Structure 1
Amino acid sequence: MSANPFWDFSLAVYGRPGVPACCLALQDRRGVDVNLLLFAAWAGLDCGIRLSDEELARIDGSVAGWREEVVRPLRVLRRRAKAEDDAFYRRMKAAELEAERVQQDRLFAAGALTPRAGGSSELALANMALLVPGGDPALAELAGLLAAR
């Protein structure tokens, strides 16, 4: 167990079948930040918190610069390297994962949430829906996958 229960949650749920595909569909189709999406889910499922638009925007603002200046450029490099050089691709993938861990540490600190009883898939879906105005089929599918704990 790490000092960041949000990171532990993310590693556990992202390893479930179907979760990466839903998250990446929302990222690629709707521009949703996967780490923020997972934070919204964690807040509802493990912390029993219903986030407001303002609170989620404040938390997102704490990592926006890191995401734009570090995570996204690493993602672009990793995707570009995928077809070119396997060793470089693996290094970029590791660097991107480490940058995402730093982002999640910052999200955890900015959110100042503590896991507690009372979380639900309904709260998680309500929180994640703030990031996907108008909804998306991948969001509903993701909520179902996360509810099956």
Structure 2
Amino acid sequence: MGANPFWEFSLAVYERPGVPAACVALQDRHGLDVNLLLFAAWAGMECGVALSAERLAAVDSTIAAWRREVVRPLRAVRRRVKAEDDGLYQRMKAVELEAERIQQDRLFALGGLTPQPGGNADMAAANMALLAPGGDPMLEVLAAALAG
């Protein structure tokens, strides 16, 4: 696949202070897919698209099997070997990241979105909130990181 502005956005956002911890907390507390969370943020921030819960669910269904059969098992193995062997842990981390890149390529291709003016952190926050309807303070951390 060619250039993927969604992947580039995700890498840039994930480097911001507080973002990795917030994403992992949301993943662990609510079972959220970080890639879908970042897709929601990207749609609002970079594409100016307010997603509906139905559209997010439809997009999620396209990558659910990959997440369940590939990404989550890789994550479980990576977490298991963390204290055992740093070399294996680092290789597993790289493999998991590659599996997530493939998932993001699929989200980008199937999401039908392209970057354009009009997006903002508030729209991104509203999109992300659809994934944790009960709310979570970590969503505010992510929204603040997007706002800059």
Which residue of structure 2 aligns with residue 61 of structure 1? 61
Aligned to 1:73: 73
- For 1:29-56, what per-residue CA distance to the aligned partner results, in whole angstroms no more than 9, with x for missing partners? 1111100000000000000000011110
5+ residue gaps, structure 2, are none
C-alpha distance in 1 between matches for 2:141 and 2:86:
32
Residues 1:147 and 2:116 are matched in the alignment: no
Partner of 1:115, secondary structure, is: coil
Count of paired positions: 147
1:58 Cα deviation (Å)? 0.7
1:57 maps to amino acid: A
Deviation at 1:127, TM superposition (A): 0.4
Partner of 1:50: helix, strand, or coil? coil
State the distance in 2 between where 1:145 and 1:30 align: 20
Aligned to 2:6: 6
Matched, 1:51 2:51: yes
Q: CA RMSD in A?
A: 0.7
Q: Deviations over 1:108-147 (max 9, x none)?
A: 0110100000001111011000000110010111111111
- Any runs of at least 4 consecutive aligned residues in structure 1 with deviations exceeding 4 A, and if so which? none
Q: Distance in 2 between matches of 1:116 and 1:105?
A: 19
Q: CA separation in 2, counterparts of 1:147 and 1:72?
A: 30
